[in-house]
Amino acid sequence: MKTTTPLVSEELTAAPLSSAAGSIRVFGYEGGDVNVSCPYDWGFEGHQKYLCNDGCRYADVLITTSQGSSGKYSIHDDKTARIFTVTISDLRLDDAGKYWCGVTRIGRDISIERELEVKPDRCCDTVNNIQGNEDGSVTISCPYDSQSDNKLKFFCRGNRPSTCLQQAVITSSNTQDGRFRLSDDRKSGIFTVTISSLTLKDSGSYLCGVQRNSGFDVFSAVDLEVKEWCCVESKNLSGIAGRAVTFQCPYPPHHRNNMTFLCKGAQRSDCTYMTYQGRFTLHNVNAAFFSVVITKLEAEDSGTYWCRSDPEWIVGNYTQFHLTVEEVEQRGLSIIEAQYWLFAALPVLLLILIIILVKVCRTKRRQLNEAAVDMNTSKLEAADAQDVTSGEDIYKNDDVAAMFRQQKRTQQRTHVLPGTADEDQVIYENNPTEQIYCNHFI
């Protein structure tokens, strides 16, 4: 940097202020800011101050009070408190090292040493993976050393140590905040954070932090995964008061050492555990399933039940049952009523059946009569047609007419009276067969 007049000698030898002793360490995170505070004695309020590094020669001066700010450096002089502060922004790992706070004076300048440490703004090499289920709760354990018993503990979301304390969702000075609760067990050196009513948005990275009076705060990293209740197996069961009903629950082989659970409640996260005693008994425990039998059912047993064999409520390891209990009296009354209505309706059904049969029979008879009439009519029409044709042929045939006259004269000679028994015989004897048929037609 350029200045109008030299502020330091070519070879600066640090001369500590009477109010300061030794080097002070300063800490910052990569990408963040750090404040370097530099006190000075009374009488130097009007003197120019600066910050330098390396050999603190003329070219090593980073910022002066006459400049105010330069690049990533800015300076402020509080003359009342006799402290000037240099802020270094956008820290990089190579910014770490030794710095000197300088006060100009005639002869050798006064300076005090500062050592800056810079760490990456992330944590940590080891991450504790935690799983929780939607609508449930999860407890996160955060260990710390014995020197931090009385230190402030805090819990924040994300993975940036530089802003964790400022953005903490819960601290040991405020142990309850909404869904978050912090509990500190100093004997075991562990503080726990419980998150209730989990949502899918709660998934992500978290940091457990312990504040230090100097140096970097201590952190441990947690990765929380909240699983969705996506595969609920739900079954409907019904039972009769006074009798028994059986719940059959899955029991995977890798759960053989787990306790079996049956609880009652509308929500899986808030249900009452039903102990296996009294009317509730455990049966048929094997590698595939376990059964819970409720004997002597009561109306109050109706409701929603949950069975599982995993205390952490892992998704897919539970079954939901909706149980309905019916009263015996109500079930018997409905059967009696059904029988009564059946017997009451039986005569009516029989009458309707008889009426239908009568109508069917009448219809069949009418159809038969009509068929017979049609047949007779057809025969008569055919006979009439034949008569007409035969008559016309007779009258058109002169021979037939002559024969007819001859027949008449013969009847007169034989003096046979018409209508007597011998009439037909005379006709048959004196006339051929064809003439007889023709006479019938005439």
pLDDT grade, residue 134 (50/70/90)?
A: confident
197 and 247 in a common domain: no
Mean pLDDT value across residues 318-331: 79
The pLDDT of residue 365: 82
Q: Phi, psi (5° rounding) for residue 68?
A: 85, -55
Burial, 248: exposed, middle or buried (Cβ in 10 Å; 0-12, 13-18, 19+)? middle
Is residue 429 within a helix (H) or strand (E), and if so which, with residue range? helix 421-430
Q: Is the confidence at residue 441, as pLDDT, over 70?
A: no
C-alpha–C-alpha distance, residues 416 and 429, integer Å: 13
The pLDDT of residue 10: 37
Look up residue 80 and give its amino acid: T
180 and 145 in a common domain: yes
For residue 431, is it within any domain?
yes
For residue 410, is it within any domain?
yes
User: How many domains does one find in the chain?
Assistant: 4
156 and 137 in a common domain: yes
185 and 168 in a common domain: yes
When comparing pLDDT for 404 and 277, which is higher?
277
Is residue 248 within a helix (H) or strand (E), and if so which, with residue range? strand 245-250
The pLDDT of residue 7: 43
Question: What CATH number is associated with residue 105?
Answer: 2.60.40.10
252 and 201 in a common domain: no
Q: Is the confidence at residue 236, as pLDDT, over 60?
A: yes
Q: Give the domain extent around 222.
A: 127-227
Q: Is the confidence at residue 127, as pLDDT, over 80?
A: yes
Q: Is the confidence at residue 415, as pLDDT, over 80?
A: no
Query: Using N-to-C axis directions, what is the helix angle for 433-441 and 398-414, rounded to 10°?
Result: 90
Identity of the highest mean pLDDT range in 50-54, 365-369, 405-409: 50-54
Task: Show which of 265, 292, 326 is a domain's final residue.
Answer: 326
Task: Show which of 227, 245, 266 is a domain's final residue.
Answer: 227
Mean pLDDT value across residues 262-266: 88
- Name the least confident of 3-7, 54-58, 145-149, 210-214: 3-7
Q: Is the confidence at residue 426, as pLDDT, over 80?
A: no
Mean pLDDT of the chain: 80
Strands 176-177 and 233-240: unpaired
The pLDDT of residue 334: 57
315 and 243 in a common domain: yes
C-alpha–C-alpha distance, residues 379 and 373, integer Å: 10
Q: Is the confidence at residue 435, as pLDDT, over 70?
A: no
55 and 82 in a common domain: yes
**pTM of the model as a whole:** 0.52
Mean pLDDT value across residues 168-196: 94
274 and 189 in a common domain: no
pLDDT grade, residue 437 (50/70/90)?
A: very low
The pLDDT of residue 329: 58
Contact 258, 317 (CB under 8 A): no
Strands 24-29 and 73-78: unpaired
- Provide the 3-class DSSP secondary structure of residue 195: strand
For residue 3, is it within any domain?
no
Q: Is the confidence at residue 242, as pLDDT, over 70?
A: yes
Contact 185, 132 (CB under 8 A): no
For residue 378, is it within any domain?
no
Contact 264, 272 (CB under 8 A): yes
Mean pLDDT value across residues 208-237: 87
When comparing pLDDT for 307 and 230, which is higher?
307
When comparing pLDDT for 358 and 333, which is higher?
358
For residue 18, is it within any domain?
no
Q: Which of 82, 1, 83 is nearest to 36 (CA)?
A: 83
- Reading the block at residue 212, the tokens are 């230090």
The pLDDT of residue 423: 46
219 and 147 in a common domain: yes
Chain centroid offset of residue 251 CA: 23
Tell me the C-alpha to C-alpha distance, in Å, between residue 291 and each of 11, 247, 251, 253, 356.
Answer: 88, 5, 10, 15, 57
For residue 179, is it within any domain?
yes
Identity of the highest mean pLDDT range in 29-38, 329-338, 371-380, 390-399: 29-38
Partners of 133 in the beta sheet?
Answer: 227
Tell me the C-alpha to C-alpha distance, in Å, between residue 52 and each of 12, 36, 306, 308.
Answer: 11, 11, 69, 67
The pLDDT of residue 305: 92
- Reading the block at residue 182, the tokens are 């912090």
pLDDT in tens, 363-374: 888 888 777 767
33 half-sphere exposure, CB direction, 13 A CA radius: 9
**Opening angle at CA 279, ends 273 and 285, nearest 5:** 70
250 and 268 in a common domain: yes
**Opening angle at CA 302, ends 297 and 308, nearest 5:** 95
The pLDDT of residue 438: 39
When comparing pLDDT for 397 and 96, which is higher?
96
Contact 34, 99 (CB under 8 A): no
For residue 374, is it within any domain?
no
- Reading the block at residue 425, the tokens are 């015989």
Q: Phi, psi (5° rounding) for residue 221?
A: -105, 145
pLDDT grade, residue 311 (50/70/90)?
A: low
For residue 205, is it within any domain?
yes
Task: Show which of 276, 311, 326 is a domain's final residue.
Answer: 326
223 and 132 in a common domain: yes
133 and 93 in a common domain: no
Contact 91, 34 (CB under 8 A): yes
> End-to-end alpha-carbon separation of the chain, Å?
158
